[in-house]
A and B are shown apart, each in its own frame.
Chain A
């Protein structure tokens, strides 16, 4: 299994540009998440989804949008990129079943620089 796949791995954006960070998982996990990680910091939750068609805001949602049309895919959209959005973005998924652990499976990250 590939697990959680994120693309692209690196991207440089100019201020005001837009882009979509792609995330796909092949584990049939119901729950998916987007986190950002600033240098020397922990991960902050941007958005999450508990299933296709259902999304909700996390701790730092401003400047971002998400959609979840399928169980597998959870893209993150940046509109009007700002330097404050320079960060490493991680997508993750987890199973819904409480009998299993809540540990996430993370993607390898997208390093985004806004100049």
Chain B
């Protein structure tokens, strides 16, 4: 079936370095993707999104890259800070109406000082 999956369950980076979190998707018809950040004990928080007619989108310290050829999505965080420590999920909009999203299992980002 269709799925959204992440390559690495845990990513450790030094504070100040750039972080890259990857995500693979299998539904070639997917046209919208979102990255969420979930801090411990909280609900997921929207970070950035991208539509399938784009290759790249930038936000504040974050960039999402979409490679439709290999069905791969990545989130880049520049100058990673301790406050970036969290679980990051990619999500894929699925068909059938209702703006339903399918979530990946998540990557734990740990920022070391």
Residues of A at under 8 Å CB distance from B? 4, 31, 33, 35, 40-45, 48, 50, 56, 58, 90, 92, 94, 96, 101-109
Task: Check B104–A108 contact: CB distance below 8 A.
Answer: no
Excluding A35-B103, A103-B46, A109-B42, 20 further A-B contacts by CB distance (< 8 Å) are A42-B89, A42-B103, A42-B104, A42-B106, A48-B100, A50-B98, A58-B100, A90-B43, A94-B99, A96-B99, A101-B34, A101-B49, A102-B32, A102-B34, A102-B93, A102-B101, A104-B46, A105-B46, A107-B43, A109-B43
For window 94-113 of chain B, which residues contact chain A by CB distance below 8 Å?
A: 97-106
Contacts of B102 in A (CB 8 A): 45
State how many angstroms separate the Cβ of B21 from the closest Cβ of chain A. Answer: 14
Q: How far is the CA of A102 from the CA of B41 in the complex (A)?
A: 23
Residues of B at under 8 Å CB distance from A? 4, 32, 34, 41-46, 49, 89, 93, 97-106
Q: How far is the CA of A108 from the CA of B42 in the complex (A)?
A: 5
Interface of A is mostly: strand
Q: Which residue of B lies closest to A101 (CB)?
A: B49
Q: Which residue of A lies closest to B35 (CB)?
A: A103
